A and B are shown apart, each in its own frame.
Chain A
Amino acid sequence: MNTSYTLSKTTGLVLTLLIIIGIVAVITGFVTDPARTWPNILLNNVYFLTISMGAMMFYSLQYITGSSWSAMFQRIPLALGSFIPIAAILMLVIYFGLQDIYEWAQPGITETDKLIAHKAPFLNTPFFMIRMVIYFALWIIPFLMLRSLAIKEDLEANIAFYQRSSFVSKVFIFIAVLFFSMAAIDWIMTIDAHWYSTLFGFRAMVTSVYYAVATIILLLFFLKSKGYFPQLNEAHRHDLARYLFRFSIVFGYLWFMQFLILWYANIPELTVYYQPRFLGEWKYLFYAELFMNFAIPFVVMMADDIGKKKPVLIGISSLLIVGLWISLLVQIMPGSYGVLQFGFIEVGMWLGYAGMFMLITLFALSKMNMVPQNHPQLEDSVHHHL
């Protein structure tokens, strides 16, 4: 149980290969069409940051609610959080492509566009970058604290580490809820600079846990196939499946509420957002988003017992991995690049990011014990039966 992860040669090779594909895709993108590449960089940054932040919110929630069932594999979400500092750097790079993504960043737009002029105190490049730095600083500090507390707990059996982790978790969840919803408004909603929705940030923040759980499940099965987590039993699988099922309802609820309210009131300034998505060339993806993130997981997981099955869990989680990408594509692309594009640049960049993300996560896992050594609820978790 004391082992930490060691990166096998094959895994390392595959991930390196993915990163190389990604680099090639980015270079191809910048050479052929920078306006198409920048939104893709934003998409992938937000994509993997969503998983990281969701994972850390999941990790904090376990402490806040005093949940014991997940104590055994709590290092997986913690490792997933390691991408947050990297995401900070990658997001700062966006600075050079602001004009290709955001309408409000075009020079001189405030003189011709009255609404953007009204929003200018908020939507201007310096403030945008300052906010970005603040968000990341506020996320990274509690993340590092939680990580160091976890590592210290392994060395010394003391309840104080659990209590302090609990406290930092509360701070983190406060910051994450407030500023991740704010960040979603900042980075995604302002692409359609005229449009607004109060639910937007809240939805992005809540559903991030959904995708994080899907990633945790995939990583858990990957590690189990390598011989880790021998105690992983049916009850753990069942609880993870329930997480997915309930979050599918949450996703469907928030998605539908935003759509229904805007559709019903039919105010042109607000329905304009759904016009290209609901009626235009994005409409198939619009429905695909709903089916992949809500309808299919919901219907499949409706029968309580089916979630215990490994193929179902892996299948649904993989579906969600694609679902998040489509969800972000539908949110980001119509307002920025404007035309539906799907080719090597999109796929290659995602693969490259995925390779990098996995490498960072696995590297983080190799730096600590796979199973926490002195977590007070470890015994509960190992003997978790329903």
Chain B
Amino acid sequence: METSQTFSTNIRVPLVRGNKSYGQISNELLANVEGKTPLWWFAGMTIGTILLAIGGWAFYMSLSKGLGTWGLNNSVAWGWDIVNFVWWIGIGHAGTAFTIFFLVFRQKWAGSINRSAEAMTVFAVMCAGLFPLIHMGRPWLAFFILPYPNTRLLWLNFNSPLFWDVLAITTYLITSIMLWYLGMVPDLATIAQRTKNKVGKFIYGMFSLGWNGSLYSYNRYETLMRLLGGLAAPLVISVHTIVALDFSVSVIPGWHATILPPYFFVGAIFSGFAMVLTIMILLRKAFNLFDYVTEKHLDNIAHVIKYGSLIIGLAYATEMFIAWYSGVDYEIYTFFNARATGTFSVAFWTMVVANAIVPQLFWFKKARRNLVIMFLISIVINIGMWFERYIIMISSLAEDFLPSSWVSYQPTLVDIGIYAGTFGLFTCGMLMFIRYIPIIAVNEVKPIARQSQKNAKEDNHEY
């Protein structure tokens, strides 16, 4: 009887294709930094800048005329700004989750994706942070929310989840930036070494912190990354947990549910992975990275999204069921009347279909292999996740306990402008990133490529 080795190779596929030498890998992965700026980059930058300008106008309006320019009213005191804030934070989840969780679970394939995912995190969290900042009305006094001894006798309400938010998100942003930056130090050193441009050599050299690639440096570096990873893991969970607590510790029907923290957390991973999928499909096409971000990588992301979608579906179903089971009239009204059949029914069913049903297409291999379908599903999920936050926030506030205080909520142009502005910020940030920083962690991919070749040789497979 043949033993297991005969078919042991069918389960694992190589993570980096092609029998590439180290030099070749460097050449291919640094092409975005070392090559000429492509035309579409300028086009993208122009669009991003226009969006940013719209955001600037909306920001100016909010400051000069006040928050009255927003669609908020007495009942819906949290409108588009909080919806968008939570949406961006959710997207900002995937990057660090990619690095940390896949480091912990020894998932080597994440090596080709984590750099871009982390960049996405950094810019998405920055976009998210803008909303509460502007919502304060006087952003120049934003430092009031930081706890430090002061002569104004200001003391913070440590019982407020909003304050927990400030701490969790700032810590998360700082750690994400550190993780992102430190992860690219060896790559920056490689660029500094290769570039002929004197200014480039100086700047990349400065940011590579004197990296010399010695065994000693690598040893320290890996310890540091593991420690940072260990620190970031609870932070990833804490951020969206605390965003969920903003809502769930209140007594508003539809908000006060114990499942909200894990449900928000999974939702964040889910929407973040969808955004990663969108971006990776574009990037591998733009920079010809098909050997590094293979079908297997996209396939894995699709699997995560598929299971995430099931958990989201479970959470929706649980909330509906318990709302009925609770026997509380307000809960029943919120879920069955306002959300499922009433004013918000269109948004509600968009949310259900986009988040819980459409991603189930990923059960089919054909859908996971078809880039167009994958791309479309990833966009649909991000729209669905936006509606999820819209449903949770607006429907509970607009129609709460007292029918006499029920209102309808419409965003104004300024609301939309700020949202468009964050898209501009995100686009410009990502475009700067893909022009000046290697989009795939070269130093992480090299050992993976070597391992893939070794396996291929042992198995006598031809790749």
Contacts and interface: CB of A to CB of B under 8 A. Distances in A.
A associates with B = yes
The DSSP consensus for interface residues of chain A is helix
A261 B4 contact: no
Given A254-B262, A261-B248, A267-B251, A198 B318 contact: yes
A174 B311 CA distance: 10
Chain A CB within 10 A, most for which of B7, B245, B311, B319: B7
Interface stretch (A141-149, A225-233, A319-327, A369-377): A369-377
Given A376-B8, A379-B4, A196 B322 contact: yes
Contact of A198 (B10, B104, B245, B257): B257
Contacts of A269: 328
B151 interface: no
B224 to A, nearest CB: 15
Interface in A222-259: 242, 246, 249, 253-254, 257-258
A376 B10 contact: yes
Interface in B242-288: 245, 248-251, 256-262
B266 to A, nearest CB: 10
Given A202-B259, A253-B237, 20 more contacts: A115-B327, A119-B325, A157-B4, A159-B7, A162-B11, A177-B310, A196-B322, A197-B322, A202-B262, A202-B318, A249-B234, A254-B262, A257-B241, A257-B261, A260-B249, A264-B249, A269-B328, A377-B8, A378-B4, A379-B5
A199 B314 contact: no
Given A119-B325, A122-B325, A379-B8, A157 B318 contact: no
The 4 A-B residue pairs whose C-beta atoms are closest, nearest first, are A198-B259, A199-B258, A264-B249, A118-B327
Interface in B1-35: 1-8, 10-12
B322 A265 contact: no
A197 B8 contact: no
Nearest to A174: B310
Nearest to A246: B104
Nearest to B233: A249
Contacts of B234: 249
A261 to B, nearest CB: 5
**Which of B5, B256, B259 has the most A CB atoms < 10 Å from its CB?**
B259
B326 interface: yes
> Size range of the interface on A?
35 or more
Contacts of A267: 251, 256
B258 A201 contact: no
A178 interface: yes
Contacts of A115: 327
Contacts of B256: 261, 265, 267
24 contacts: A66-B11, A66-B12, A115-B327, A122-B325, A157-B2, A157-B3, A159-B10, A162-B11, A177-B314, A178-B314, A197-B259, A198-B260, A199-B257, A202-B314, A246-B104, A253-B261, A257-B262, A258-B258, A261-B258, A261-B260, A261-B261, A264-B249, A265-B256, A377-B4
Interface of B: 1-8, 10-12, 104, 234, 237, 241, 245, 248-251, 256-262, 310-311, 314-315, 318-319, 322, 325-328
Contacts of A258: 258
Nearest to A66: B11
A380 interface: yes
Nearest to A372: B4
Given A196-B322, A253-B237, A380 B259 contact: no
Contacts of B327: 114-115, 118-119
Contacts of A254: 262
Contacts of B11: 66, 162, 376-377
B6 A198 contact: no
A265 B161 CA distance: 12
A181 interface: yes
B48 to A, nearest CB: 38
A24 interface: no
Contacts of B258: 197-200, 257-258, 261-262
A272 to B, nearest CB: 13
Contacts of A261: 245, 248-249, 256-258, 260-261
Scoring B1, B257, B311, B326 by chain A CB atoms within 10 A of each residue's CB, the highest score goes to B326
A157 B1 contact: yes
A153 B319 CA distance: 42
Nearest to B226: A304
* Most chain A CB inside 10 Å of its own CB: which residue of B4, B10, B311: B4
Contacts of A118: 327
Contacts of A122: 325
A230 to B, nearest CB: 18
Contacts of A181: 314, 318
Interface in A196-218: 196-202
A264 B160 CA distance: 10
Contacts of B8: 376-377, 379-380
Given A122-B325, A265-B250, A265-B251, A260 B245 contact: yes
Interface string A167-210: 00000001001100100000000000000111111100000000
B325 A196 contact: yes
Interface string A280-321: 000000000000000000000000000000000000000000
